[in-house]
Amino acid sequence: MLHHLRNLHEDYLRSGLFGIQDGLVSTTGVVVGISIGVEDKAIIILASLVAVSVEASSMAAGQYSSEKAVHQMDKTGKHTDSLITGALIMFFGYLLGGLIPIIPTILVGQPQARFIAVIAALVGLFILGYVKGHIVKVKPLRSAIELFIIGTIATTIGLIVGYLFRI
Ligand SMILES: [Zn+2]
């Protein structure tokens, strides 16, 4: 399966991996922060779903326009990828990553859901980092640990902000 991924156009691969990673990191921060700040489960779920869909759209738009600029400057002709496909991969990658911390919030009550969301996100980031390292041929474990640390920092920031603005 990893061999197939290597044959995928590298721009698609980049937007897919980046989308999942960013969806996981920022949505976990949002879920943790909001669930500390408010107790109402419906509000936590609503806020997380709003955040994930707005950000997925914004990331897809960003992917489209930044890749468009890259294509316009490209003189080598290696950018044969479609801008729309790249933007869609970013959108769905982000949604997929974002759903990982949201699903436990829907299924179980707090504070267990928050705990499961953080664990699921960190495990997810570790696996993603490992796969990413494997595909781009850098040390998989190093890449896994790197993403794990990024996830921990984002979650901690969410926690602090949620705690400070608790209502
Ligand atoms: Zn391209």
- What DSSP string describes 16-64? HHHHHHHHHHHHHHHHHHHHHH---HHHHHHHHHHHHHHHHHHHHHHHH
Q: Look over the chain and give the mean of its residue pLDDT values, rounded to a whole number.
A: 90
Task: Please name the residue that has the structure tokens 């980046």.
Answer: 18
Model confidence at 155, in pLDDT bands (50, 70, 90)? confident
Each residue's pLDDT tens digit, 10-61: 889 889 999 999 999 999 999 999 999 898 999 999 999 999 999 999 999 9
Q: Is residue 45 assigned to a domain?
A: yes
- Alpha carbon 115 to chain centroid, angstroms: 18
How many structural domains does the chain have? Answer: 1
- What DSSP string describes 74-115? --SS---S-HHHHHHHHHHHHHHHHHHHHHHHHHS-TTHHHH
**Based on the number of CB atoms within 10 Å of its own CB, is 21 exposed (0-12), middle (13-18) or buried (19 or more)?**
buried
Q: Report the C-alpha gap between 92 and 24 in whole angstroms.
A: 12
- Cβ–Cβ < 8 Å for 18, 93: yes
What percent of the chain has pLDDT above 70? 96
Three-state DSSP class for residue 65? helix
Q: Is residue 1 assigned to a domain?
A: no
Q: Report the C-alpha gap between 115 and 101 in whole angstroms.
A: 10
- CA 84 to centroid of ligand 1, rounded, Å: 11
Q: Is residue 43 assigned to a domain?
A: yes
Query: CB 25: neighbour CB atoms within 10 A?
Result: 24
Residues lining ligand 1 (ion), CB within 5 A? 11, 79, 81
- CA 54 to centroid of ligand 1, rounded, Å: 24
Q: Is residue 3 assigned to a domain?
A: no
Domain containing 126 equals 9-164
Length of the chain: 167
Q: Is residue 44 assigned to a domain?
A: yes
- CA 57 to centroid of ligand 1, rounded, Å: 19
Q: Residue 1 pLDDT more than 60?
A: no
Q: Is residue 4 assigned to a domain?
A: no
- CA 13 to centroid of ligand 1, rounded, Å: 11
Torsion of CA 22, 111, 145, 5, to 10 degrees: -50
Each residue's pLDDT tens digit, 124-134: 999 999 988 88
- CA 160 to centroid of ligand 1, rounded, Å: 38
Q: Is residue 34 assigned to a domain?
A: yes
Q: Is residue 131 assigned to a domain?
A: yes
